[in-house]
Chains A and B, each alone.
Chain A
Amino acid sequence: MSLTLPAASAHATEVDYLFAALFAVSAAVLGLVFFLMIEFSIRFRRNSGVDRGQPLRRSWRFETAWTAATLVGFLGLGIWGADLYVRELKAKPGALTIDVVAKQWMWKVEHPEGQREINELHIPVNRPVQLRMTSEDVIHDFGLPAFRLKHDVLPGRYETLSFTPDRIGTYQLYCNQFCGIDHANMIGTVTVLSQPDYERWLAANGAAETLAAQGSRLFVSYGCSGCHRAGGHGGEGNVRAPPLDGVYGSPVPLSDGTTIIADDQYLQDSILMPKKQIVASYDPVMPSFAGVIGEEDIVKLVEFIKSLGGKS
């Protein structure tokens, strides 16, 4: 079995050019150092009898020049790498957002239309993908060598990984952050399909409902609608709770006098740690649902609340 490292995206190909440059610089530096080392070891061995009367002329200009040149060269490599990195991380329009929930020791993937996968990810070629990732327990890392990418997946937070595959094929997925006993088994595959194949795959694996629709049922079954009004229902109890229509993306004034924008993180925190940020003029009476609602269901609830309008 031979080692392969396909380049499955334009970014991967560009990173490979940087690798080539790094290799060339490394080879040049090592070549020079080893050459001098070996040459000096032979030429200046103790009984070689060569003339040692010519001292190395130490000129400050030479020292400064080669030091500066080295620095500029190294920084050039650094800037190249930084540029590639920053460009790849920029959000791309029309990206397909797919949720990834990591848990000891498996990857759970949820497509927006409700399709679910374990340890596998099917995506269409030539379309930007944005993975929205969180962990149910410890820190994991979603690692894709073929795309030259990885990113840590944290509990209690959403991290994103963006890329645009441009080659059809099946590629390796690794967990790249030690996460416990079966860390080495937390591997899978990413399959890039042509657009028609992708549509066929979606249809064959389709769930009956989108994530948002599943979320609206959970909103009732977990008792959220007992206090909160959303989508024209709910909130008929004694408890006064902030209404959720249009909340996503809107500014929310808080009890400590500050104002924040309600994003995915805010919604997740409100469910798991409601006392962290209280909306102004409301009592801090919402119970925490940590341990009650798992990360996958949180994703669905968040999708439901997003579907209620507001700025995205």
Chain B
Amino acid sequence: MSEFVAPRAHAEFQYASAEHQRDSALAGMWLFLATEILFFGALFYLWVLLRRWHPLGFHLATADTDLLIGSVNTVIISTAGMVFFWGVQQAKRGQNRPVLLAALASGGLGLVFIGLKLFEWSEDVGKGKWPGQVFQAHGDDIGGQHLFWLLYYAGTALHVVHMTIGVLLVAWIAWRARKGEFKPNFYYPVVAVGLYWSFVDVVWINLYPFIYLLGR
């Protein structure tokens, strides 16, 4: 493997060196993710509280969720995460073509996830699960069931928005890989996007049991 003289390994003018820039960019991404953890954390905290206050309603509502689609989506998103992680390793070695393939595959899986989610939402609405005056449910503790579905839509909608941004970022990495931009001494954008993508993955891994498993 020959050493490339990287045209893009120089630093932006406010940085003292390429390492300085890489450190700062990753610090920025970690800081951003910390705030996102607070954001989703508040939602999960609320979920735990409301589950405690409406145990019956949440138990009944979970039975109406589509376990198949939820589980398939979990497999899809985990695979997408692993594929991209492999891509980061390839970027470290300066192999742009594998990075491109990994990004395309990972982004493609992301799009499948989003598509399945949209389909699942239409199903849910068809079953009368849209919160508000049109909400329908059977059994007791309708109020608790209503709250479950409210949290369901809030959590999955926020997640899908983050997922969409993730797909766009992954597509950007694919674009740059296609142009051959990543070198062994310059690949931190792949790492940064990988961090974000993993975070979106982790949020889903936490949402999945809350929505589909607990109390089923």
**A–B direct touch, CB within 8 Å, in complex?**
yes
| CB proximity to B under 8 Å, residues A234-260 | 255-257
**B141 to chain A: which residues have CB within 8 Å?**
255-256, 278
Please state if B143 and A275 are interface contacts (CB–CB under 8 Å): yes
Confirm or deny: B56 has a beta carbon within 8 angstroms of a beta carbon on chain A: yes
What separation, in Å, do the CA atoms of A257 and B144 have in the docked complex? Answer: 13
Contacting residues of chain A (269-303) with chain B, CB-CB under 8 angstroms:
275-278, 284
A270 CB, nearest partner CB in chain B, Å: 13
Q: How far is the CA of A284 from the CA of B146 in the complex (A)?
A: 15
- What residues on B are CB-neighbors of A256 within 8 Å? 54-57, 140-141, 144
- B142 touching A275 by the CB < 8 A rule? yes
Q: Which of B55, B57, B143, B144 has the most chain A CB atoms inside 10 A of its CB?
A: B143
CA distance A277 to B56 in the complex (A): 12
**A interface secondary structure, majority:** loop
On chain B, the residues within 8 Å of A255 by CB distance are 56, 140-141
Decide: A276 near B140, CB < 8 A? Known: A256-B54, A256-B57: no
Task: State the interface size on chain A (CB cutoff 8 A).
Answer: 8
Taking a contact as CB atoms under 8 Å apart, the answer to whether A284 and B55 are in contact is no
Give Cα distance in the complex from A255 to B144, angstroms: 12
Within 8 A of A (CB), among B81-137: none
B52-66 toward A: CB 8 Å interface, digit per residue (1/0)?
A: 001111000000000
Closest partner residue, chain A, to B55 (CB atom): A256
Q: CA separation between A257 and B54, bound complex, in Å?
A: 10
Most buried by B among A256, A276, A277, A278: A256
Please give, as numbers and ranges, the residues of chain B lying within 8 Å of A284 by CB-CB distance.
140, 142
CB distance from B133 to the nearest CB of A (A): 11
Which of chain A's residues have a CB closer than 8 A to the CB of B143? 275-277
CB distance from B145 to the nearest CB of A (A): 10
**Chain B nearest Cβ from A151, distance in angstroms:** 26
Measured between beta carbons, the chain B residues less than 8 angstroms from A276 are: 143
Cα separation A255 to B143 with both chains bound (whole Å):
12
Chain B residues positioned under 8 Å from A278 (CB to CB): 140-141
Q: How far is the CA of A275 from the CA of B140 in the complex (A)?
A: 9
CA distance A256 to B55 in the complex (A): 8
Task: Report the nearest A residue to B140, measured CB to CB.
Answer: A255
With both beta carbons as reference points, the residue of chain B lying nearest to A277 in the complex is identified as B143
Q: Which residues of A contact B54 (CB under 8 A)?
A: 256
Q: Which residue of A lies closest to B138 (CB)?
A: A284
Bound-state Cα–Cα, A278 to B57, Å? 12
Interface residues of B (CB under 8 A from A): 54-57, 140-144
New A-B contacts (17) at CB < 8 Å, excluding given A256-B57, A278-B140 = A255-B56, A255-B140, A255-B141, A256-B54, A256-B55, A256-B56, A256-B140, A256-B141, A256-B144, A257-B56, A275-B142, A275-B143, A276-B143, A277-B143, A278-B141, A284-B140, A284-B142
15 contacts between A and B (CB under 8 A): A255-B140, A256-B54, A256-B55, A256-B56, A256-B57, A256-B140, A256-B141, A256-B144, A275-B142, A275-B143, A276-B143, A277-B143, A278-B140, A284-B140, A284-B142
**Closest 6 interchain pairs by CB?**
A255-B140, A256-B56, A275-B142, A256-B141, A276-B143, A278-B140
